[in-house]
Amino acid sequence: MFTELKSIYPEGIATPNPLIIAGPCSAETREQVLTTARELSANGIRLFRAGIWKPRTKPGGFEGVGPEGLEWLKEVKQETGMQVAVEVANHAHVEAAVAAGIDMLWIGARTSANPFAMQEIADTLSQLNVDCPVLVKNPVNPDLDLWIGALERLYNAGIRRLGAIHRGFSTYGKHLYRNMPQWHIPIELRRREPNLPIICDPSHIGGKRELISSISQQALDMGFDGLIIESHCDPDCAWSDKAQQVTPDVLNFILNTLVIRDQKTSTESLALLRQQIDRIDNEILEQLNKRMSVSREIGQFKKEHRMPVLQANRYDSIMKSRVKLAVEMGMSAEFMTAVLTAIHEESVRQQLEILNRR
């Protein structure tokens, strides 16, 4: 248990609810860093993030500008007064970041999955005797013990300004989310470590800017302590993660429309109910997509076995049983028939596509 934690926010200042960290996925140029920082600062953001060393899945991608970016972050601090955060993954990164006076460090998902790297970072922080806040992203795989283990290595090295970042978990194949939220995992972390602040990263969970708002609301509804959101002065031209970045003004809009939960906020409020609808729609989409992918597998099977796509008996029995269930649940038979017909049409279309593929 982490019993002696201290605030991750600057000493002596009450941590805002929610804590917001924003900035580009990667520092690209001095111009891009400063422009983004100025716009975020003008919108009231106090904590600025930018990746300097980027762990890329494949070689050949943009791997970050390296230590040169630290100089730009120093300028951000000087000019805007914002605190600055970077991702570190090894001894050299920690040394360079600490020497540059970086205010906050975070550990990426690929690093928190690696106990050797975590121990190296913990040892370096302990040698340097720094009292810098460190946020640990969940490992790429859904392993809560590995996540807690990474945090423990830092705690055992004397780090007390500690927090966790929930950024979702990798899965195989295409999904609505880039990284599945698996909310029960951070919730279990909260149960086991109630003193540990947990921040949500809707940008890396969603992978698309359209999802940031609903994921953020869901996190706040579940009592997360803050949000880390990727923001870029020109998202469509970003050198990494462009689909999930938003301009500082869009970020401002998103933050202003979020419903901050406190004891006084009624769960009946319209905004909250609308957020629930957004969430459920996302779930429906996710499930529909799963159904289509199973249906494509069936299509493949039918093709291999020279079976026709349309199996009238099967379709009829699906219709009858689902419509009956829907009526029992209080929905109309007409409504459910229309929904199932539409789903079936799309399944048939996708199966025919497979059948006609050479």
Report the partner that residue 109 touches, choosing among ligand PEP, Mn ion, none (CB closer than 5 to 8 A by kind). ligand PEP
Residue number closest to ligand PEP, CB atom: 108
Name residue, tokens 């060393």: 53
Q: Report the nearest approach of ligand PEP to the CB of residue 132 (Å).
A: 17
Query: Pattern 198-217, binding to ligand PEP, x per CB under 6 A?
Result: ------x-------------
- Residue 204 CB, nearest approach to ligand PEP (Å): 4
Residues 6+ apart with CB under 8 A from 145: none
Q: Are 189 and 196 in contact (CB under 8 A)?
A: yes
Q: Write down the least CB distance from residue 165 to ligand PEP, Å.
A: 7
12: left (phi over 0), alpha (psi -120 to 50) or beta: left
Q: Would you say 25 or 104 has its CB closer to Mn ion?
A: 25
Alpha helices, H only, the chain: 30-42, 68-80, 91-99, 109-112, 115-128, 144-156, 184-192, 202-206, 212-221, 248-257, 270-304, 312-329, 333-356
Q: Is 109 in the site for ligand PEP (CB under 6 A)?
A: yes
Query: Could you give the string, one character per residue 12-51, with x where binding to ligand PEP holds by CB under 6 A and - elsewhere?
Result: -------------x-------------------------x
Which one among 8, 20, 21, 25 touches Mn ion, defined by CB under 5 A? 25
> Six-digit token pair at 74?
């120093």
Q: Which does 137 bind (CB under 5 to 8 A by kind): Mn ion, ligand PEP, none?
A: ligand PEP
Residue 85 vs 336, nearer CB to ligand PEP? 85
Q: For the chain, report the end-to-end CA distance as a whole number of angstroms.
A: 59
Name the DSSP letter for residue 51.
Answer: B
Q: Which does 108 bind (CB under 5 to 8 A by kind): ligand PEP, Mn ion, none?
A: ligand PEP
Residue 336 CA to residue 264 CA, distance in Å, equals 39
What whole-number distance in Å separates Cα of residue 121 and Cα of residue 87? 11
Size of the site for ligand PEP (CB under 6 A): 8
Q: Which residues between 162 and 191 bind ligand PEP (CB under 6 A)? A: 167
Of residues 228-287, those binding Mn ion (CB under 5 A): 241
- Distance between CA 283 and CA 288 in Å, rounded? 9
Q: 163 vs 202, which CB is nearer to Mn ion?
A: 202
Q: CB-based contacts of 120: which residues, under 8 Å, 6+ apart?
A: 90, 91
Residues forming the site for Mn ion (CB under 5 A): 25, 241
Residues forming the site for ligand PEP (CB under 6 A): 25, 51, 87, 108-109, 137, 167, 204
